[in-house]
Amino acid sequence: MSRALIRCVFAALSLCAPSVATAQPRPVPAAPTAAARATVPAAARAPVTPRPVGPGRLALAAAQSAVDEVILPRIEVRARRGAPVEAEQSVRGARNARLCLRPVVTVRRLRNGEMPTWTGPLTDCTGRPTLAALAAVSLLAQPGRFTDFDVDAAIRELRRVAPAAGLSLADETAPRARARVRGRGAAPPIERDRLTHDPVIMLTRNARVLHPRVIQLMQGLFDRFPGRTAEIVSGYRPGEGRSRHAHARALDLRLRGVRHEDVRDYARTLPDAGVGYYPNSVFVHLDTRDAQEGGAYWTDFSGPGEAPRYGHWPPTDQEVSSEVGWMVNDREPDLTTAREREWSPEAVHLPAPTP
Instruction: Tell me the per-residue pLDDT of 167-205, one tens digit each, with 9 for 90 and over.
Output: 999 987 765 544 444 445 566 788 999 999 999 999 998
CA–CA separation, 23 vs 26, rounded Å? 9
Q: How confident is the model at residue 259 (pLDDT cuts 50, 70, 90)?
A: very high
Report the chain's mean pLDDT, rounded to a whole number.
Answer: 74
Percent of the chain with pLDDT over 90: 40
H or E element in which residue 54 lies = none
Cα distances (Å, whole numbers) of residue 260 to 30, 264, 278, 282, 288:
94, 6, 9, 8, 19
Mean pLDDT over residues 44-51, rounded?
52
CA–CA separation, 109 vs 259, rounded Å? 18
Rounded to two decimals, the pTM is 0.61
Q: What pLDDT, on a 0 to 100 scale, did the predictor assign at position 149?
A: 81
Q: How confident is the model at residue 320 (pLDDT cuts 50, 70, 90)?
A: low
CA–CA separation, 289 vs 298, rounded Å? 15
Percent of the chain with pLDDT over 70: 54
Mean pLDDT over residues 283-303, rounded?
90
Interacting residues of 285 by C-beta distance below 8 A, sequence separation 6+: 250, 251, 252, 274, 275, 276, 277, 278
Which DSSP string do the residues of 99-112 spell out, in sequence order? S-BPPEEEEEE--S
Q: What pLDDT, on a 0 to 100 scale, did the predictor assign at position 145?
A: 72
CA–CA separation, 165 vs 199, rounded Å? 6
Contact in structure between 116 and 140 (CB atoms under 8 Å): yes
Choose between 341 and 202: higher pLDDT. Answer: 202
